[in-house]
Homo-oligomer: A and B are copies of this chain.
Amino acid sequence: MSKAQAIEALVKAIGKENVITEHEELVCYSFDATADVPSQMPDVVVTPRGTDDVVQIMKVASQYKIPVYPRGAGTNLCGDTIPLKGGIVLRTQKMNKIIEIDADNLVAVVQPGVVINDLNTAVAPFGLIYPPDPGTVATATMGGSVSECSGGLRGLKYGVTKHYVMGLEVVMVDGTVARFGGKTVKNVTAYDMVKLFTGAEGTLGIITEITVKLIPAPEAKKSMLAVFSKLEDAGNTVTEIVRSKVIPATMEIMDQVTIRTVENFAKVGLPTDAEAVLLIEVDGIPEVVEREAATVVKVVEKNNGNIKVAKDDKERDGLWAARRAALPALAQMKPTTVLEDATVPRSRLTEMLVALQNIAKKYNLMIGTFGHAGDGNLHPTILTDERNTEEMKRVHQAVDEIFKTALELGGTISGEHGIGMAKAKYLPLEFGEQGVEIMRKVKRALDPDNLLNPGKMMG
């Protein structure tokens, strides 16, 4: 059975207008936002209009044994949407309806193609928010975000995507439709399949509907910038704030390389002689915000930091513009940006920051580090040029050492970017071969012919 026959079957099943085969268009689906991974052309791109179309597509894929790669906006950072073995890219763009906003039960039901920001815009009039906020909220889709279990800036207080996914409709590889979970806060009816599919990176099934938890929007916020001349003081401040029973909504760090690059790029007034800055935001009802901000100020000053509290929304926006500039500022320095997300327990943050500085020196690389200090989730960002093969060799050695260090400190190789093509080879470092084999058993049980996003997390 040929690929041409399969494409014909797809056209017959979901209509010519939902099947893309033109070379120029297929090129757009041969890569994603990830640096330093191979690209690969798909044979065909399909754009289902709903669950029924997905069922039809999976039936054709199963019949012809052709791989399927679900794709939202392609903003992931582990090469997860690249069609590595060729086959069918399944775009969710036409499945972009917000099906229901159920404010009384604090839930929303969406199709996978809904952009994260659009959901937040839709629930705002009800005084609610959907908290997960990866850097890509303005373009990333809910389906991609659930499949990758996106993190973001608010993990410490509000958790990440998996903490908000309550129910899923999934199309299995053979076209079977299953629904797990739902609108109830409590649900212990058999295995937690909702969490198994969340973060499965499209390797177990195609997510076609998502029920998420919403929470009341915080009434007030206060943002602060803390400047430290010593990196250790910044690290200790993070631990001590939490020890003071204050859980900020966000607690972000930028190291000196990042500070200087951001300042050079955006002229936002960051102190370029500081070894680190922390950007901290507390939120809640006004009384809580005042109290928690006062505690933060006290802890920062005790740890030799200078702190500035944003007086109004304009100052607040200014602070966050600096943080948002971190990645683009670093990215414009060199042609290639290798962005990692090694994560350690919060108390080991200082050790990890120091280790990253040493790794940069050892391999003679420029590494800017920023990230979610409150979660121990750092983004060491290696600035390089993939055409420089000698330097790329050192980059890969440095990345190996970053992951080993994170694991030695009791952390994990991926806090929020996922595994995909980029990190599959590191899995045994974290779980041992036997741990990975347990996961492969689950994968083989649900996708015996390895048709769902092959060549990624589970090989």
Give the B-binding residues of A (Cβ under 8 A). 102-107, 127, 148-149, 151, 155-156, 159-160, 162-163, 172, 176-180, 182-193, 195-196, 198-200, 204, 216, 239, 242-243, 245, 247, 284-285, 287-288, 291, 343-347, 372, 374-377, 410-419, 423, 427, 430-432, 434-436, 438-439, 441-446, 457-458
Contact = CB atoms under 8 A, between A and B. Distances in A.
A187 to B, nearest CB: 5
Contacts of A347: 102, 104-105
Contact of A180 (B177, B216, B284, B435): B435
Contacts of A148: 188
Nearest to A160: B186
Nearest to A192: B195
Contacts of A434: 176-178
Given A189-B431, A284-B288, 13 more contacts: A104-B347, A105-B347, A160-B188, A182-B345, A184-B375, A186-B375, A187-B414, A188-B199, A188-B415, A188-B417, A190-B419, A441-B446, A442-B446
A239 B343 contact: no
Copies in the complex: 2
A243 B435 contact: no
27 contacts: A102-B347, A104-B239, A104-B243, A105-B346, A127-B245, A155-B186, A182-B345, A184-B345, A184-B415, A185-B376, A186-B375, A186-B415, A186-B416, A188-B199, A189-B419, A190-B419, A190-B427, A191-B196, A191-B204, A191-B442, A191-B443, A192-B196, A216-B245, A216-B247, A287-B287, A442-B445, A444-B445
Contacts of A187: 343, 412, 414-415
A438 B243 contact: no
A243 B126 CA distance: 9
Contact of A189 (B104, B216, B413): B413
A246 to B, nearest CB: 9
Contact of A438 (B193, B198, B216, B287): B193
Nearest to A458: B190
Contacts of A189: 412-414, 419, 423, 427, 430-431
